[in-house]
Amino acid sequence: MALPMQRCWARLRTLTFTWPAASYHARPRRWGLGGIHKPDPNDPETKDWHKGPAYEAKLYGRHGSASGVNPEGLWPSPEQLRAIEADEKEWCPSLAEMQERLEATDRELARKQKERERLIAANMAKMPKMVEEWRRAKKEAKQKEREEKARKERLLALAREKFGIQVDFRSAKFQEMVKELEKDEKKKMKAIKRKQREEERAAMAALLTTIPSAGQPAPPASDTSG
């Protein structure tokens, strides 16, 4: 009877395990054989995580009063308690504080939105004037460009008239001629402006002579009748 059973177990092993396995069974672990492990904190070989109130709190939580830990020493000191309260106040605010912060954030967002809308409206109101100024500036720039082009063409014509067809714009003679022409143009513009001012002064003086001064009667009108 034993032989068929051994053959059956052997066949089951070949079906269950794809590799050879030993029939080993570990002994159950026995807890509390060595008592409570409480290392000496003054021992230099004691690990850091075996020291301090955190490990004592762990011992007291696991073994209770049998650990020999005084539970009064596990409570934080007044300084530590104030630090804990400050951290909780900063990182764990109350529901009312969180609601107040959210409302303040919403108010700030609404204020910024209104300010942005007001700025957009103000800029849109200025848009026609800005477009007009841009067009005027563009027109003035084109006018200056045309004037500069005409001035260069005039200088080029004078240079060709004076030096011939082959003109070197980098030559000292050409640069000197350009400076002399610019001086002549400035003198002409000053003379024109001076003449305009003199004409304006003469017209103003003539106008003042025709107006009677205060307190003097106006000259009698000439009698043109028969």
Supply the pLDDT for residue 43.
Answer: 82
pLDDT digits (tens, 9 = 90+) for 130-157: 899 999 999 999 998 998 888 778 777 7
Is the per-residue pLDDT at 122 higher than 50?
yes
pLDDT digits (tens, 9 = 90+) for 1-51: 556 667 766 766 665 555 555 566 666 655 544 567 777 778 888 888 888
Supply the pLDDT for residue 99.
Answer: 92
How crowded is residue 109: how many other Cβ atoms within 10 Å of its Cβ?
A: 10
Is the per-residue pLDDT at 204 higher than 50?
yes
pTM tops 0.75, yes or no: no
71 secondary structure, DSSP code: G
Supply the pLDDT for residue 166.
Answer: 64
Supply the pLDDT for residue 30.
Answer: 54
Contacts of 13 (CB under 8 A, 6+ apart): 21
Supply the pLDDT for residue 225.
Answer: 47
d(CA 171, CA 68): 106
Supply the pLDDT for residue 47.
Answer: 84
State the pLDDT confidence band at 169, using cuts at 50, 70 and 90: low
Query: Can you tell me the mean pLDDT for 164-186?
Result: 72
SS3 215: coil
| Alpha-carbon separation of residue 116 from 110, 112, 119, 123, 124 (angstroms) | 10, 6, 5, 11, 12
Supply the pLDDT for residue 214.
Answer: 47
| Alpha-carbon separation of residue 149 from 94, 144, 145, 194 (angstroms) | 76, 8, 6, 27
Supply the pLDDT for residue 138.
Answer: 92
Q: What is the CA radius of gyration of the chain?
A: 54
* Residue 124, φ and ψ in degrees, nearest 5: -65, -35
pLDDT digits (tens, 9 = 90+) for 65-121: 888 888 888 888 889 889 988 888 888 888 888 899 999 999 999 999 999 999 999
